Structures are given as structure tokens and as C-alpha cells.
Amino acid sequence: MPIQIQRRAAIGLLSGGAAAMLRGGTAVAAADTAGWMDFKSRFLLPEGRVLDNGNGNQSHSEGQGWGLSLAEHHNDRAAFDRMLLWTRRNLRRETDNLHAWRWRPDRQPAVADSNNATDGDLFIASALLRGGRRWSDPALTEEGTAIARDVLRLLVRRAGGRLVLLPGAQGFEHRTHVVVNPSYYSYPAIATVAEAVPDPAWLRVASDGLRLLRAARFGRWGLSPDWLAVSRTDRSVSPAQGWPARFSYDAVRVPLWLTWAGLADEVAVEAPLSFWSDTSHRQVPAWADLSTDSVAPYAAGQGVLLIGRFAARQRGILQDRFGPDASNEKRDYYDTALVLLARMAAAERGQAI
């Protein structure tokens, strides 16, 4: 795609996407409200910690950021304040405005690694900015702006002629390449923080991120890997060593973020839909191996199906394979969060799913 078209797509994302994420007051369906109440009852502890019951009851900046975003969407200030207080006290780093990525209840100290996770910081920042607008609270806006500035200051690098978004402040820069996580390009959150902290670098990060997603296509279905190596010397990309070469639990979020941001026509949405819709699968697989084209022997969760339904409908496709919601009784934190985020995204795109 020509550079000027890429830039127009990114400009549209950073203007229209920000408007969608910041407008507040989006109508919330009764089923969505019930889903949020269920999420709180199962995964939000009284002190404001979001519980990842699929990973030893840990907590993450990701979970706190998603929880804050959902609380703002549902106009739940009480839950928002509880989560924000816990996040400040337990995850905020001492040297900047970013957050440690993981808190473990079985360790002392509970935060042994102060490295951040960029997607968590982006969602925390965007939730604060949205909350500041919804509740006319300048302190929230100021806090979200400070986080956004540090994301731009500490986590943007140049590699192979592109500006890339590091997954964390440490551990992802190497002599020959930089490792990125395509699903950390949470475009709706990027649109929100770019509105609060105007800087041309956001536009470059957004447009170069789209270029990466168009290039990062591997295996039979042309899918993005969970972790991607970006060469420092040329424009080549490859699945990053040290992680399975899979389209899996991270990368399934890529089509959600793109569709939410109004970019459902991107190939990084089209390819997952083709994979999930492939009738050679007995069920929608949880992952695909991009080296061997083998797929998971077990099914994807309801969150993935709802992402597929949302993306398909935004592309004007009716797809029975992403059928009605199943019972939420057995969903873990991650699957449940994806369901609620897909519903939030659909509501902000004016769609019911």
C-alpha cells in the first residue's frame, strides 16, 4: 500500500478512533451490564485487584488497564476508583509513570520484576483519560497524560527505518533486531493517548505499526505471530526466537484492536477471519503454528469467537461459525475479559453482538 494511503489510514485512526474512545456515554446493553457485574463478582477483589485465575491468581497491568477501561465504559466510578488505587499502590514504578507488569500473591515481594508491559500502560492511560472526560475530573486526565508521555518517551524506538513500540522498557532490544508484540499495538488506546499528548511520533508509530502488521504474515493462513522480530538493518520481520511461532492468545487481539479502531479492512483482520472460518477445522482452533500449519487440538474460547463475530459483521459478513454466546460459568479471566472488550468495542462502533 502506498505510503500516503498508509498515512491517511493512520490519521483517520488517530482522529476518528480518539473520538470513539473519548466520547463517553456510549449506550450499554442490558446483557453487557450483566456481563460486567459477573466479571466484577468473579475477578475483582474488594481491594481493587483484578484476578487472573488462569495464571495462579496473579494480577497484571493488562488486567488493571482492561478493568479500568470496562469500569469507565459502564460508568462504574466506584469500581474504577478501587482498581486505580490498588494499581497506584502496587504497580506504579518509582522512576517514571509506568507500571510493573506482574504482581504475584505467592511471592515476597509480590513485584519481583519492575519491567512494564506497554499494552497495560496504554490501557491504564486511556482509561484515565476517558474517565477524566466522563467524570469531569482533571486529576485523572493529568495522571493519564503523564503515563502517555512516558510511553512515548521510554518505549518508542527506531528499527529498520520504522518507529516501533517496545513491549516493555527492558529486554526487547538486541544488536541485530528488536522484538515487538503485535497485539500491544492497541490502536483504540493509542488514539486516545495521542489526543491527550499531541506528537507526530504517534502518527508514525500508528502508520509503521500497520506496515508491520501487513508484513508479518506467516504460515498457511498468513497470520501474525504473538511475538515478532524486526530487523535493525532492513525491513525484514520474522517470528521472534524464544517464543512459539504461533498465532495464539496474544495475537488474537490484533483483529479486535484494528476493528475497534475502524480498520476492519486490514489484512490482519481478514487473515484471522479466514483462519477461524476455515471449514477444514472441526472447531475454531485456539491457535495455529506458523511453522508447521498445525492447529490446537482444542477450541478457542468464547472471547475469540466474539472477536470473530464483531470483525465479520464490521466487514459485512454474516458468519454462523462465531455463533451465540455460551455460558460464562467456565470462562476464566482472560476469556471473559475478551468477551467484554469485544462487546465494548462493538458498542462504540454502534453495533450489537
Residues 6+ apart with CB under 8 A from 279: none
**Of 138, 18, 27, which is closest to residue 75 (Cα–Cα)?**
27
Q: How far apart (Å, rounded) are the C-alpha atoms in residues 30 and 43? A: 20
**Of 327, 315, 322, 329, which is closest to residue 299 (Cα–Cα)?**
322
Catalytic residue among 32, 72, 76, 119: 119
Q: Hey, how many other C-beta atoms are within 10 angstroms of the C-beta on 199?
A: 15
Catalytic residue among 62, 76, 121, 195: 62
Helix (H, G, I), strand (E, B) or coil at 107: coil
62 catalytically annotated:
yes
Q: How far apart (Å, rounded) are the C-alpha atoms in residues 341 and 266? A: 20
Q: How far apart (Å, rounded) are the C-alpha atoms in residues 259 and 342? A: 10
Number of helices and strands in the chain (H, E): 13, 9
**Of 297, 294, 178, which is closest to residue 240 (Cα–Cα)?**
178
173 catalytically annotated:
no
SS (H, E, C) 211-234: HHHHHCCECCCCECCCCEEEECCC
Strand partners, 163: 158
Burial 259-285 (b: 16+ CB within 10 A, else e): bbbbbbebbbbbbbbebbbeeebeebb
Question: What would the grid cell of residue 141 be?
Answer: 486526565
Question: What would the grid cell of residue 1 be?
Answer: 500500500
Catalytically annotated residues: 62, 119
